[in-house]
Amino acid sequence: MWRRLAAVLATAAVSLTLAACGDDGDADGGSGETGTIRIGAILGISGRFAFVGEPQKQALELAQERINAAGGISGRKVEFVIYDDEVDETKSVPLANRLISEDKVVAIIGPSITVPALAIQPIVERAKMPNLTLTSKAIWEGKPESYVFHTTPREEVEVKSVLDFVKDQLKVTKVGVVYDRQPYGTGNLAYIKRFASEYGLQIVAEEGIENNDTNADAQVQRVRAAGAEAVVVWVGDPAASSVAKAVHQSGWTVPMIASSAIAGPRFAELAGPAAEGAYSDSTYNTAEPPPVQKDFLDAFKAKYNSAPTQFAAFAYDSAYALKGAIEAAGGKTDGESIRKGLIDMPALDGVVATYDFAADNHNGIPNGPLFYIVQIKNGAFQVVFDTRK
């Protein structure tokens, strides 16, 4: 009990709130229609998934600045109340309760990763609190009255994008999979196995690994022995970079394509020379971005002097989805009005995709290939293929 209390206190100590309420009156996070609109966020800002949560925090800072500069939401300023759960569900749960009961937010964005997102789901459903989760898992599936939505492409969309590239561009038929033993990896492995035959692929090896493993020699040796012609990696770093290094050090010449968990600078830094030639998938076309993407990429770089990871766009689109929902609800901010507003609002032309939420699709993205395929060339990812052909 004392350990759990200490964890909660520690989380509170590192939590942060963006911006003051302003001079236009008290914040109003309830169902009223005056004052500042408070929207909560639970992100993995520190710890081993900081490369996911920190850019998401920055994206919400940018969204807050730009929304308020453009007149706010239905004429009211917005304030994002952001907490760091360190991707630890024992911290995510009390933070969700705090946002609802103390901070009086009208909606919650996040958590960043699947396990904390699953942990707070019963809380937001019970409280009728709209939740724009940032996990790729469709945890709302089969529950049309759910208050959970998301702007992250769902798992099967990413899997189909990767398998489409493996089939059409790598032109191999035998694939080995190294996957995270946590729900992120096991869930996507299930989709890979489910869809492989549609793309003429045979899964010849399935090797589990822990996200923080720094040695993947045994897994790679078994995948190689199984006759794999390509390695699909569905785990974050440092494990993903460990797979790349094991392949490289063994002298095995085989293409490696990993999930979007590596689509950032950390993978290349950790893998070093072994990263060269590795593929991943990304929601950005950095070479020729469409107008909405270019606007976001330019604004983010101007504010932070660095390019955003794709995780940042998921949070940014969530902010604008909630803006659209509240405006569609005529400025009402009670949970049911926002939930209904998300479904009723016009399609949102977001950075990641065009979202058209529906009662039976709280993601709003068509369930087919969506991603750009990127490859590390000279130490940095470059777009090499568009799966949305």
Structure tokens at 237: 């770093």
Q: Specify whether the CB–CB gap between 77 and 326 falls below 8 A.
A: no
The two beta strands, 380-386 and 148-150, are unpaired
Domain 155-282+370-386 class, CATH top level: alpha beta
Q: Specify whether the CB–CB gap between 280 and 255 falls below 8 A.
A: no
Ramachandran angles phi, psi of 219, nearest 5°: -65, -45
pLDDT of residue 25: 38
Rounded Cα–Cα distance for residues 35 and 72 (Å): 11
Q: Name residue, tokens 């750009």.
A: 372
Q: Name residue, tokens 């309760």.
A: 97
Rounded Cα–Cα distance for residues 218 and 247 (Å): 11
Structure tokens at 232: 């699909």
pLDDT of residue 190: 96
Low-confidence ranges of the chain (pLDDT < 50): 1-27, 30-31
SS3 359: coil
Q: Cβ-count burial of 198 within 10 angstroms (0-12 exposed, 13-18 middle, 19+ buried)?
A: exposed
Q: Specify whether the CB–CB gap between 206 and 195 falls below 8 A.
A: no
Q: How many CA atoms lie within 13 A of 299 on its CB side?
A: 20
Rounded Cα–Cα distance for residues 345 and 332 (Å): 13
The two beta strands, 354-355 and 348-349, are antiparallel
230: region left, alpha or beta (phi > 0 left; psi from -120 to 50 alpha)? beta
CATH number, domain 2-153+291-355, options 3.40.190.10, 3.40.50.2300, 3.40.50.1970, 3.30.70.3040: 3.40.50.2300
pLDDT of residue 337: 98
pLDDT of residue 11: 44
Rounded Cα–Cα distance for residues 229 and 211 (Å): 24
Q: Specify whether the CB–CB gap between 345 and 325 falls below 8 A.
A: yes
Domain residue ranges in the chain: 2-153+291-355, 155-282+370-386
Q: Name residue, tokens 């950075």.
A: 351
SS3 159: helix
Same CATH topology for 2-153+291-355 and 155-282+370-386? yes
